[in-house]
A and B are shown apart, each in its own frame.
Chain A
Amino acid sequence: MPTLVAQRLLALVAVLFGLAVIVFLLQVVIPSDPARAMVGASAPESVVIAKRHELGYDKPIPQRFLDFMGRLMRGDLQESLRTREPVSKDLATFAPATLELALAAAAIAGLLGAWLGLLLAAPGRIARALRLALITGASVPTFLTGLLAILVFYSLLHLLPASGRVSDTLVVPSGPTKLLIVDAILHGEPNLLWSVLTHLIMPAFTLALLPALAIARTLATSLQKVMREDYVRTARSKGLAERRVLLRHALRNSSGPALTMSGLQFGLLLGGIVVIEQIFAWPGLGLYLDQSIAYSDFPAITGTTLLLGSAYVFVNFAVDLAQAWADPRIRTV
């Protein structure tokens, strides 16, 4: 196991480097004029040239790459063309909202996925009806699900707020974690906690829906497969209750593909934040990325890509280790 961890860690560093290279190449490839975009339409050409020089966009590409990597090492992601703040500072501002949303969505996706997966795996008419319902649910575009959810839970039922992370009249505490649920508990503010939870539910569920269904289907497929394995039959023949067989033996052994799927779905979830954050006006990285794309704010796009990409690499690193831990076969082959 320690060698496995070391090996994966090494690979992790390599992947992060590769990510940096690709992200840099994307910057080079895109044909637009960030310097002009920054100083505005009416600025004279001399101002544009000065800006271009200041940003280092006039240097040869290898030099730019070295500059880029050097800055990365120092944690310097340059200044956003739009907000005029260091990108690292912007990311620190926007990341907690996304982290909170992603954690909530991942928890919902995992639980909902496991629960639905177990339901689906059981034979019978209910499972079949459920499967149809799930398939239909998984076929609706996320932005439509989001808007319809707002239409129903906000506009018709007046149950949940439609936008933002917290009610607009509440003052958000400045720390310590920036995760509002945690901060609200730490500061002992029930009103704030309440407001945060009501704001979180709809976007988190909408974001979790597609990953949950994918996890459920993968889990159900491998569960059905495992349930026919010899040892399960053996367990059954010993007179163990079906539920016990399912939970004690089958679930564990079929969790591998579902776990892989969960790791992969985390990527989908990160992709989904752009859409979800836009619809629910969630002040996170997706919103930041979307606004940056519209502005061709490449330092910001690069920074966000690196952060989301690294988060994803780390999660799958963890999934890998978890899988190795749960299933020793993976280590030996």
Chain B
Amino acid sequence: MNQRHRFTVAVLVVMGLILAGCGAASTNSSSSSTSGGSANTSDILRIPYLADMSVPDPDIFYDIEGNSVILSSYEGLLTYAPSSTKLIGALATSWTISPDRLTYTFKLRPGVHFHDGTSLTSEAVKKSFERRLAVNQAPSYMLKPVASMTTPDPLTLVIKLKHPVNPFLSYLASSWGPKIIGPEAIVTHAGSDHGQKWLQTHDDGTGPFQLTAFERGRQYVLSRFAGYWGAKPFFKKVLLKITPDIGTQQLELKNGGVDAVMHSYPASELSSLPSNVHAVEVPSFLRLLLYVNTNKPPFNDPAARAALKATINIPQLVSGAYSGTATPSQGAYPNGLLPSQPSLDYTPNPTLAKEGASKASSKDITIGFTADESGVQRRVGELLQSDLEAVGWKVTVKEVQLPQVYGYINNLKSAPDLLLQTNTPDAANPDTWARIVFYSTGGLNFLGFNDPTLDKHLDEAVSAPEAKADDLYSQVGQEVIDSNEMFFLGDVKNVFVLNNSLTGVEQVPAYPWTVNYAALKRG
């Protein structure tokens, strides 16, 4: 091909592309979007997710985004009554506990079907629980105290524990608690990994919805399960669309492209919502904590921690960062987990704060926070920085990744001096909070808080009679408060922003970011 021809060909190709482009553009301009208008009457519910969930396998899943997939497709033996911490039966209709608190007998609900069509039996429950232990991922700890399980008849399950475990029933109702999985997953597709592979893209629960498509990065489809034992859900389908930008979510909500934004809606915009949506704000157990690193100067010195405490102005921090979507924390535990708990005595004292800062062995401190879509932790970090610098500290605020945070425990000297984190207990029980946050080996005890007496109290409390246990938990709370090694800043609300056509918001404080899709209705 000589040069002239080559050039002619190139020009022709370019022209062809331009024509193709124009063609596309001109056909495009004749269209108009229909997604906005039809949303309000449709029996399809569209909800955005900010990120992909890890895996829809209830024995592995241990995050927050993705809760609603698990809770829509699976059920456990127990659950919580709407808007409360009261335990009610889900797949169990009744249960009894032996006086020594070691034997639990559950009567199962008759007429329940798995999504694979088979009926719920006590044998299936037993198999599911065994699978959780065999898969042995993070949530398996809830069943570790189980000594044996027997199935005297198809609708009766007897569980024997190794030692009394106060929160055992709470575990069974937890969002991350043991769910009952059908034989198609556990037997037919068991493979060599207890069906883990198959459950990455399928479900076999008893819930009101069935996971019919799991397209990572695009959307998950939950379809109404015709054989559901409970009330028939209004929505035929729930589309969970991965929409990683909150700005895009806001615009789609306003235009009817999605029906609700279940979390991270910018708090400051709640007072100026578009007219076609409304917000529902309810308490959750999510709370913001400030961890103090006592393994290095300056906060290895109790006096420096006391000065820190005298600096923090919690109501101001919380209202500044959350614009009313959180309330200042009342105690070491989320509200409602204990009949009464020692209250926090955080009163700012500028004199003490300045004096403490001037005497500190090092004035350079670092505040770590993890990025969240709504920027709350960043704002708290900046406000805190401003308060601390005003009394003489020199503060660096830095953003850290969650896995890094988990790694701090291995090298506490290089960890930040102060760490902001938002955590939630696994269930509505004080033990599920104290054990992961306060216990020396707790998974959310990021900066190595270590008090042997407190550990002993917690070990005692887990098996103690209820009243005694509550006393012990209160005592532990007081110990944490007195240590000044952890500060409890705010109790965060669930904020659901929904299209006005939606009614029937049913939720539970122990299930963060989650609305019961089966109870939602249009009109």
Verify whether A and B have any Cβ pair under 8 Å: yes
> Which of A2-10, A257-265, A288-296, A313-321 lines the interface with chain B?
A288-296
Contact of A281 among B28, B137, B242 (CB under 8 A): B242
Is there an interface contact between B251 and A162, defined as CB atoms closer than 8 Å? Answer: yes
Whether A114 contacts B14 in the complex (CB less than 8 A), given A41-B443, A93-B216, comes out as yes
B347 contacts chain A at the CB level, 8 A cutoff: no
Residues of A within 8 A of B251 (CB): 150-151, 154-155, 162
Residues of B within 8 A of A290 (CB): 244
Encode B413-450 as 1/0 by CB contact (under 8 A) with A: 01000000000001000000000100001111000000
B386 contacts chain A at the CB level, 8 A cutoff: no
Is there an interface contact between B7 and A252, defined as CB atoms closer than 8 Å? Answer: yes
Is there an interface contact between B137 and A43, defined as CB atoms closer than 8 Å? Answer: yes
Contact of A159 among B31, B217, B406 (CB under 8 A): B31
Residues of A within 8 A of B215 (CB): 172, 283
Given the complex of chains A and B, what is the CA–CA distance between A36 and B442 in angstroms?
13
- Write the chain A residue with the least CB distance to B411: A31
Is there an interface contact between B403 and A291, defined as CB atoms closer than 8 Å? Answer: no
Is there an interface contact between B404 and A287, defined as CB atoms closer than 8 Å? Answer: no
A34 contacts chain B at the CB level, 8 A cutoff: yes
Contact of A111 among B21, B51, B243, B401 (CB under 8 A): B21
Is there an interface contact between A284 and B55, defined as CB atoms closer than 8 Å? Answer: no
B90 CB, nearest partner CB in chain A, Å: 22
Q: How large is the interface on B (under 10, 10 to 19, 20 to 34, 35 or more residues)?
A: 35 or more
B316 contacts chain A at the CB level, 8 A cutoff: no
A165 contacts chain B at the CB level, 8 A cutoff: yes
Encode B27-46 as 1/0 by CB contact (under 8 A) with A: 11101110110000000101
Given the complex of chains A and B, what is the CA–CA distance between A45 and B445 in angstroms?
13
Contact of B242 among A45, A160, A279, A287 (CB under 8 A): A287
Is there an interface contact between A44 and B28, defined as CB atoms closer than 8 Å? Answer: no
B18 contacts chain A at the CB level, 8 A cutoff: yes
B218 CB, nearest partner CB in chain A, Å: 4
B231 contacts chain A at the CB level, 8 A cutoff: no
> Which of B252-260, B331-339, B361-369 lines the interface with chain A?
B252-260
Contact of B51 among A34, A294, A296 (CB under 8 A): A294
Is there an interface contact between A36 and B407, defined as CB atoms closer than 8 Å? Answer: yes
B219 contacts chain A at the CB level, 8 A cutoff: yes
Given the complex of chains A and B, what is the CA–CA distance between A37 and B406 in angstroms?
7
Encode B1-30 as 1/0 by CB contact (under 8 A) with A: 000000100010010011001001101110
Is there an interface contact between A97 and B402, defined as CB atoms closer than 8 Å? Answer: no
Contact of B436 among A32, A33, A42, A162 (CB under 8 A): A42
Given the complex of chains A and B, what is the CA–CA distance between A194 and B33 in angstroms?
12
Whether A83 contacts B55 in the complex (CB less than 8 A), given A111-B14, A147-B248, comes out as yes
Whether A283 contacts B216 in the complex (CB less than 8 A), given A42-B139, A44-B141, A47-B136, comes out as yes
Contact of B441 among A34, A44, A84, A247 (CB under 8 A): A44
- Write the chain B residue with the least CB distance to A293: B401
Residues of A within 8 A of B51 (CB): 291, 294
- Write the chain A residue with the least CB distance to B244: A278
Is there an interface contact between B138 and A32, defined as CB atoms closer than 8 Å? Answer: no
Is there an interface contact between B196 and A84, defined as CB atoms closer than 8 Å? Answer: yes
Contact of B33 among A31, A158, A165, A288 (CB under 8 A): A158
A163 contacts chain B at the CB level, 8 A cutoff: yes
Whether A287 contacts B36 in the complex (CB less than 8 A), given A83-B52, A154-B255, comes out as no
A23 contacts chain B at the CB level, 8 A cutoff: no
Given the complex of chains A and B, what is the CA–CA distance between A260 and B274 in angstroms?
48
Given the complex of chains A and B, what is the CA–CA distance between A39 and B403 in angstroms?
11
Is there an interface contact between A39 and B257, defined as CB atoms closer than 8 Å? Answer: no
B60 contacts chain A at the CB level, 8 A cutoff: yes
A305 contacts chain B at the CB level, 8 A cutoff: no
- Write the chain B residue with the least CB distance to A200: B24
Given the complex of chains A and B, what is the CA–CA distance between A295 and B63 in angstroms?
11
- Write the chain A residue with the least CB distance to B435: A42
Residues of A within 8 A of B36 (CB): 158
Given the complex of chains A and B, what is the CA–CA distance between A224 and B44 in angstroms?
58
Is there an interface contact between B31 and A94, defined as CB atoms closer than 8 Å? Answer: no
Whether A42 contacts B138 in the complex (CB less than 8 A), given A83-B52, A107-B17, A159-B31, comes out as yes
Given the complex of chains A and B, what is the CA–CA distance between A75 and B32 in angstroms?
45
Q: Tell me the B266-304 residues at the A interface (CB within 8 Å).
A: none
Whether A296 contacts B60 in the complex (CB less than 8 A), given A42-B138, A43-B141, A111-B14, comes out as no
B239 contacts chain A at the CB level, 8 A cutoff: yes
Given the complex of chains A and B, what is the CA–CA distance between A155 and B36 in angstroms?
10
- Write the chain A residue with the least CB distance to B436: A42
Contact of B44 among A169, A172, A293, A294 (CB under 8 A): A169
Given the complex of chains A and B, what is the CA–CA distance between A240 and B442 in angstroms?
82
A266 contacts chain B at the CB level, 8 A cutoff: no
Is there an interface contact between A147 and B247, defined as CB atoms closer than 8 Å? Answer: yes
B245 contacts chain A at the CB level, 8 A cutoff: yes
Encode A85-125 as 1/0 by CB contact (under 8 A) with B: 10000100110010000000001100100100000000000
Encode B386-408 as 1/0 by CB contact (under 8 A) with A: 00000000000000011110110
List chain B positions with a Cβ less than 8 A from chain A.
7, 11, 14, 17-18, 21, 24-25, 27-29, 31-33, 35-36, 44, 46, 51-52, 54-55, 60, 62, 136-139, 141, 196, 200, 215-219, 239, 241-245, 247-248, 251-252, 254-255, 257, 371, 401-404, 406-407, 410-411, 414, 426, 436, 441-444
Of the A-B pairs whose beta carbons lie under 8 Å apart in the complex, a sample of 11, sorted by A's number, is A33-B404, A34-B403, A40-B137, A40-B443, A43-B443, A45-B441, A107-B21, A111-B18, A278-B244, A291-B51, A293-B401
Q: Which 10 A-B pairs have the closest CB atoms?
A: A40-B138, A41-B443, A283-B217, A296-B403, A33-B407, A37-B403, A42-B443, A36-B406, A32-B403, A32-B404
New contact pairs (11) apart from A32-B406, A159-B29, A164-B241, CB-CB < 8 Å: A97-B217, A107-B17, A111-B21, A154-B257, A158-B255, A161-B33, A164-B218, A168-B241, A169-B44, A294-B371, A294-B401
